[in-house]
Each structure stands twice: as C-alpha cells, then as structure tokens.
Amino acid sequence: ILKKEQCGIDQNLYLLAGSGGLTTWDVFIIGQPWNQSRTMNNGIYSVNHNTRITQWEDPRNQGQLNEKPLPEGWEMRFTVDGIPYFVDHNRRTTTYIDPRTGKSAFENGPQIAYVWDFKAKVQYFRFWCQQLAMPQHIKITVTRKTLFEDSFQQIMSFSPQDLRRRLWVIFPGEEGLDYGGVAREWFFLLSHEVLNPMYCLFEYAGKDNYCLQINPASYINPDHLKYFRFICRFIAMALFHGKFIDTGFSLPFYKRILNKPVGLKDLESIDPEFYNSLIWVKENNIEECDLEMYFSIDKEILGEIKSHDLKPNGGNILVTEENKEEYIRIVAEWRLSRGVEEQTQAFFEDFNEILPQQYLQYFDAKELEVLLCGIQEIDLNDWQRHAIYHHYTRTSKQIMWFWQFVKEIDNEKRMRLLHNGPQKFCIEKVGKENWLPRRHTCFNRLDLPPYKSYEQLKEKLLFVIEETEGFGQE
C-alpha cells in the first residue's frame, strides 16, 4: 500500500494493486472509493461508487472534486471521445446536460437540446428544491376569517430565504401536528382569496377564459404593489414546497414567470378576436382596403375610454404596409402587458430570492401550470364522445388510430393534446402525410394529416408533444 500526498486534494490517497496489476486498481479517497479500469483502447477511466460518477480524469490529478451527488437514478458516463453524458435510469433516457448544473458538457459551444418528459422534469425540480431548503421551520398562524391579512402580515415579515424552511401552519383552536395537510389547505384557501378578481388585483383573461391576469385597474388599491409582492412570494412558495393553488393564470403570464418572451401567438389563448384581427392585418394589404389606422389604441379602465399611444406621437403616425409589422408587434406587446409593467415588476421582485428561475427553465408554460395547479384526470370517454370531425369521420382509420394513441399515453401528454375552452374539440384533415400535426387553441382544433399507418401517426404526435412548446400552435 502506497501513501502519498496529491497536489490539489486535501485527502490521503491509497493505491491498491488490482488483478494483474495492470488492468484494474482501486483508489480510495477518504469517504470516496474509486475504481479504475482500462478500455479496449487502453483508455483509463475512474468510477466513484458513492456518487455514481464515471470520468476520464484521474481523481488524483483533479484540482477539486465535484462532490455533489447526482439525483437518484442518474449516472454519468463518457463517449469514446471522452465527452461526458448523463443517464437517467428512471426514464431510460440520456442527455449531455448535467442535471446538477443544467449546463452542457460542451462548455465552449451551444448547449445540447434535450427534452425530458414531465415526470422527469418534476423529479429534477424537486431534487433542487430539497438542496435549497433551509433547516428548521417557520410558524404561520392565521385565522380563517382574516386569512388574507393575517397571511400578508406574516409572509412579508419573513426574509425570502426563511420561506424555504418547512412550513408549520396553525389555525387557532385547531392546533395539531402539521404533516403537510394543514399547509396544503392553507395554500388552497389563500389562493382562492388573493386571486379572487373581486379584490381587483387580477381579472379574467377573456369572456370565455377564466385564467387570470394582472388587472390594469389594480392601482385603485393604494397598497396594490405590496400585495403583488406578497402574491409573488406566495406563488414561489407554492412551487418550492410542492403545494397546489386553487386557480391558475393565463399562459402568457406563466411564460413571464419562466422569463420567456411573449409575442403575437400568445394572444390567441387570451383574446382570440384581437389575435385574428391582427392576423388579418398581417395577411392583407391594408392600403388597398383603405384602412385608416394609427399607432394608438383605445383602452377602457373602470368604464372610462382613454387613447394610448403605442409609440411617441403614435396618434399621428399612420400604419402602412411598410410599417405594419412594427405596429403588429407593438400592439401585441401592449395587449399582453396593458400598462401593468409596474405591477409585474412588483410581482417578480422576490421570486428569484425564494425560487431561482433557473430551476424552472426546463418547463414550458403549460407544464408550469400543471406544476402549480395540478392536473385533473381526463375523462377519455367524454372527450371522444363529444369530439367533432372535419373531412374525417368517426370510422376514418386516422381517427381510430388517434384515439388508440390517446389511450396509450399518460394524462400529462393528453393535456397537451386537449385545450380546454368553450368550443368542442375538433380534428380536421389538413396537410400531407409528411406534415406535423398542428393545434389551434383559439378554435380548440387539431389539424391531423392523413397518415398512412398507426406507427407514423404515433411518431408524429409524440414528436410534437414532447419536443415542441405550444404544439406549433397558431
């Protein structure tokens, strides 16, 4: 046994000759047993049996060791070129992205695009929430009659980091050990209060859309910015502690939480009429139609109509064929924000302090909604019974294949196919067999090309469900 000091490593190393003394040997670093072997090409790699990490670099020559373990069920391996990649044995998938850092092995190049299914993303997210959790707990004592104000006063009295501690929620007169059930009830009840449009902080996204968005008239409450900071903390806490809330936001709002850009297509889910009018402007020659439009728009707040310039002196700038793309972009941005920039800034002020947005980067808007609000089991029989078809019939082979596919996938994937709305779900025959399916959220319609086999239909649908955000929606 040889004992030696190795530069850059504080621990003592013990080198044990293995079988034959040439092909394998064990290196023990105090608390971390390593095994080294040769490949067929005489390459030497090391395996740490505690952290399940495999690496080309000799641990005795490392400047420092990454001792943070991989999530449960994960393993690190290397390609024949020595490039590290990661195996998720839970989902039987591989990726070049390190689940501990979210970064690709190609440090000097673009990150490798990799898509997890929803369950794997949630597992990764929960792992990091556990790593960020603070020790001990905090007490939140509230009464049911004054739930809003009690919760506001106490949540705002804690530092953002304190809100990562385990929650001990107490309703006076109902004391008992909180194993999660009381906290779960508190999140549900409080979300019903703070997100209630009657408080004028939020409003419904549209006439037939009961998702919430920030109310432009919320300024009538002099403390509205403080309340938005409070609600921001509450939402971040719900995500961090894995609790569901009673109601949800519009998809563009979830994209803002994810720090993703919003644009024209996002309008379709909250204001389909306005979206369609902008699409008409985009696709037609407005000068030939003799439309007189300016870079200004009328808005109604508390029953009063006011004119709003979309750019300086916009009321005097005519929209033409030459500048209509700029008009569409600006007016879409306005419709999605509608003068609530100050409220939005207040809402997100403490979010990162409680839950860094980087840990949500793998979710899209729809997945974030499920993470925050949960998901109801879809009634397949009811869905199929009320579906309608254009240029297909119930007995068309593509339709029969579609419902066979729906029965085989899990509930999360079904949610990506089904968009809840006032109109019935419609499948329309559109395109050629080499086209991808396309979803129109505005009309609750799925464009399904006439595929020639079930395998082809399954492949195309799985591709757009798992690898495209928004399903190529229009």
Q: Which residues are catalytic?
A: 442
DSSP string, 257-325: HTT----GGGGGGT-HHHHHHHHHHHHS-TTTTT---BSEEEEEETTEEEEEESSTTGGG-B--TTTHH
197 touches 168 (CB < 8 A): no
- Three-state secondary-structure class, residue 11: coil
Tally of CB atoms within 10 A around 112: 12
Q: What is the DSSP letter of 364?
A: -
Q: How far apart are CA 368 and CA 265, in angstroms?
A: 18
Q: How far apart are CA 192 and CA 180, in angstroms?
A: 19
Q: How far apart are CA 378 and CA 384, in angstroms?
A: 11
- Beta 426-429 vs 445-448: how paired, if at all? parallel
From the number of C-beta atoms within 10 Å of its C-beta (0-12, 13-18, 19+), residue 163 rates as: buried
209 touches 197 (CB < 8 A): no
Q: How far apart are CA 310 and CA 275, in angstroms?
A: 17
Write down the residue that tokens 């809840």 correspond to: 420
Long-range Cβ pairs for the range 182-187 (8 Å, 24+): 183/241, 183/243, 184/243, 184/244, 186/140, 186/142, 186/151, 187/234, 187/237, 187/238, 187/241, 187/243, 187/244, 187/245
DSSP string, 435-474: SPPEEETTTTEEEE---SSHHHHHHHHHHHHHHSGGGG--
- Which residues on neighbouring strands pair with residue 168, listed in sequence order? 139
Please give the helix or strand (H or E) that residue 212 lies within, else none: strand 209-214
Per residue, the 3-state secondary structure of 167-181, as one string, reads EEEECCCCCCCCCCH
Report the candidate in 82, 72, 68 with the shortest Cα–Cα distance to residue 32: 68
DSSP string, 396-430: -HHHHHHHHHHHHS-HHHHHHH---SSSPPEEEE-
Q: How far apart are CA 138 and CA 244, in angstroms?
A: 19
Mention every residue, 6+ apart, whose C-beta is less than 8 A from residue 277.
none
